[in-house]
Structure 1
């Protein structure tokens, strides 16, 4: 009964737009006061806020965020987009391919879906529209490709999941690589379906010589080098995720200097934005631990696991229900909040069904990414609409086919979990 009251309070606070961390903390405090009283609650508040953020793995999050801001400062996204346009030249939909390539490249060194979507919207969607692409196509692909930053290493949200689920941060970072590539191909395939029906629906690009394509490829090399240094160090066990994040920060800063983009004002802005984002995430971590302690006291999670374990239905049926739950949550809540609130409750249930914690992390993040381009919240859609100066409904309409493609990939991962797990298992 108390568990239901806590969830109702939490949802109500979020609906009236109370900041997520405050909503979670308030619900947790009310639960603790009802369950254990004032004095024990004071003891919990003396311990949990400190211990919940003492995990060394959490230190990778601000470093990855800072690396992303340094990459933005370097202007590499423009270079990636220009390189893609040059390489694919006269290919039908070549500029769309270039936008996808730029999104994948930026995702590989940013880790933030929203930042990727905003940056790509400013640099690519307007140029696609100017070339003759339909606005729904241009903005829809950009909003969708931006979500890849949550999956392709190094992913901030996967690190956050690893800390929440007490799973290996290195395994989670590596596990996102293959699914990220598969999703990128699914998005490209979705874009090409209408092109195959009508080639005149998209303009052709400009033909480029092979020397020009070679020069464009060289321009994209710094991103590949930084990505290889960060992910390769983790995969081969040469560095921890935190150490790899530090390497990435240094490499990104050197790239800023090499491209003559360095300025103290830019560095200060990058640090300030990193502190803001990190503070938000850490606040949710603290609040989620308080809420989790209260929810554990209700014994609701244990009862749920016992009840589901006793159901005489196939595991796929239960996973289908869990998929629907996360799809709905993705429509109305932020990814960090979804993970903080649901993983401690749902993960034990998923493990009883025979699924792995690393696989579940990729699955949860993918479902959250679908929510980023789906109404009514659709944060990436609002970011792209604002950055590109387009109507929000137009962007939602353009992103709908890509959201469906991502959902199909999620179903694929449920049916064949080894697609996600084979690379981390080979570490």
Structure 2
């Protein structure tokens, strides 16, 4: 079949299956089967079995369920309330005051959960009632939380970076290192915006609270020690070369269980609930990876990736023009698909042309995650928006409007990363070249 006919048919099959409510993983498998049937005489069943087995029996993927389980354990602990109590004394003197707790709290929790939705839900359940009761503008409460919740995608240990590394055969340790500085930069941009907004809109800020004495600040900071210790145990063991990402994930689960037990927040029922939730999430991601692995090889049989790469090559786009086009493409995709689905569905087609353009695949992984973060706060399919709708009861489009300034800051972060690629490449080049 002619490629000009095949490509539209496959797009219709994909979005038709998704619109019908078929799970993303099975939708990808359906597209692969149609592609094989129309474009190749190869036995689809044999290709499916071989590719799925090869795509899922990757050692790096064993870190995935462990990091997910670690996050589920911590969601059920008192870690979030301890973080609020620990961070509040240090943000009281900054312009914007306790609004910064959303940014710093999400950054800290992202460093131990690896999940954007878990970060948003955990910090949101704690901060939304607290900040609302103290008179903060609900639009800024929701907007800062929606934007900062996306840190779970970028700040290591990021689940989506593990998926990208496994799909592209890139070093997960290097990807984790590459995400650190851009993650901190993004947190700084968000905090800077809060300071600017609160300075311009003084009338919409509540009255300043009495200053916290030094002893209270010290007691509050002590509550941060468990989460900081867990971050150092997990991420530090990778960076120091003591443990692989998979081994560090086991360290994280062990540490999370110890923290939950020590705070009295983990019962046998909670343990079973965390294990069940982690299993469900892992299976969901595994189905997506299996479908993407089969679709990748099926697309290879159709010749569409080669034709697409050749077409883009003939356009003679500069690396910056290519990145701008990909940014727009991923933003549009993010309106309909979740972040992991976007990565596994597109990376096998796009990465060859990116490498051909002279772009480092480690850097591109961070760029891709930053762009995919935008999909978490873009309607109609924005997972952070769904989470915040559950917490606040507001409609998705209102939440998306409150999050719009932080969407703009994400675009700015992507531009800064493109202009200064060493933001992502300096740390892995320094740490892993020793």
TM-score w.r.t. structure 1 length?
Answer: 0.96
SS where residue 52 of structure 1 aligns?
Answer: helix
1:41-52 maps to which residues of 2 (within 5 A)?
A: 41-52=44-55
Cross-structure match for 1:123: 126
Deviation readout 1:79-134 (Å, 9 max, x if unpaired): 11121112223444211112211111111100110111111221101221221111
Are 1:143 and 2:146 an aligned pair?
Answer: yes
Are 1:180 and 2:183 an aligned pair?
Answer: yes
Cross-structure match for 2:101: 98
Are 1:169 and 2:165 an aligned pair?
Answer: no
**For residues 40 and 393 of structure 1, what CA distance do their matches in structure 2 show?**
46
225, 228, 232: which one aligns with 2:232: 228
Deviation readout 1:192-239 (Å, 9 max, x if unpaired): 222111323212244211111111111101111111111111112111
Are 1:284 and 2:282 an aligned pair?
Answer: no
CA deviation after TM superposition for structure 1 residue 311, in Å: 2.9
Cross-structure match for 1:376: 380
Structure 1 moving runs of 4+ over 6 Å: none
Cross-structure match for 2:89: 86
Cross-structure match for 2:67: 64
Retained in 1: the 8 A contact 2:378–2:400? yes
SS where residue 231 of structure 2 aligns?
Answer: helix
CA shift in 2, pair 1:393/1:130, >3 Å: farther
Cross-structure match for 2:416: 412
Retained in 2: the 8 A contact 1:89–1:206? no
Are 1:365 and 2:374 an aligned pair?
Answer: no
CA deviation after TM superposition for structure 1 residue 60, in Å: 0.3
**For residues 155 and 90 of structure 2, what CA distance do their matches in structure 1 show?**
22
**For residues 351 and 306 of structure 2, what CA distance do their matches in structure 1 show?**
11
**For residues 217 and 162 of structure 1, what CA distance do their matches in structure 2 show?**
35
Cross-structure match for 2:56: 53
Are 1:252 and 2:256 an aligned pair?
Answer: yes
**For residues 370 and 402 of structure 2, what CA distance do their matches in structure 1 show?**
19
Are 1:153 and 2:173 an aligned pair?
Answer: no
CA deviation after TM superposition for structure 1 residue 18, in Å: 2.2
SS where residue 332 of structure 1 aligns?
Answer: coil
**For residues 209 and 280 of structure 2, what CA distance do their matches in structure 1 show?**
40
CA deviation after TM superposition for structure 1 residue 314, in Å: 2.4
**For residues 177 and 277 of structure 2, what CA distance do their matches in structure 1 show?**
26
**For residues 419 and 93 of structure 2, what CA distance do their matches in structure 1 show?**
38
Cross-structure match for 2:400: 396
Cross-structure match for 1:132: 135
SS where residue 262 of structure 1 aligns?
Answer: coil
Are 1:30 and 2:34 an aligned pair?
Answer: yes
Cross-structure match for 1:326: 330
Are 1:348 and 2:355 an aligned pair?
Answer: no
**Which stretches in structure 1 are left out of the alignment for 5+ residues?**
none
CA shift in 2, pair 1:311/1:45, >3 Å: closer
SS where residue 17 of structure 1 aligns?
Answer: coil
CA shift in 2, pair 1:206/1:403, >3 Å: farther
**For residues 394 and 207 of structure 1, what CA distance do their matches in structure 2 show?**
34
CA deviation after TM superposition for structure 1 residue 53, in Å: 0.9
Cross-structure match for 2:43: 40
**For residues 195 and 46 of structure 1, what CA distance do their matches in structure 2 show?**
57
CA shift in 2, pair 1:45/1:318, >3 Å: closer
**For residues 170 and 4 of structure 1, what CA distance do their matches in structure 2 show?**
38
User: What's the Cα RMSD here?
Assistant: 1.4
**For residues 312 and 269 of structure 1, what CA distance do their matches in structure 2 show?**
53
Retained in 2: the 8 A contact 1:111–1:150? yes
Retained in 2: the 8 A contact 1:85–1:205? no
CA deviation after TM superposition for structure 1 residue 291, in Å: 0.7
SS where residue 56 of structure 2 aligns?
Answer: coil
Give the total of aligned pairs: 426
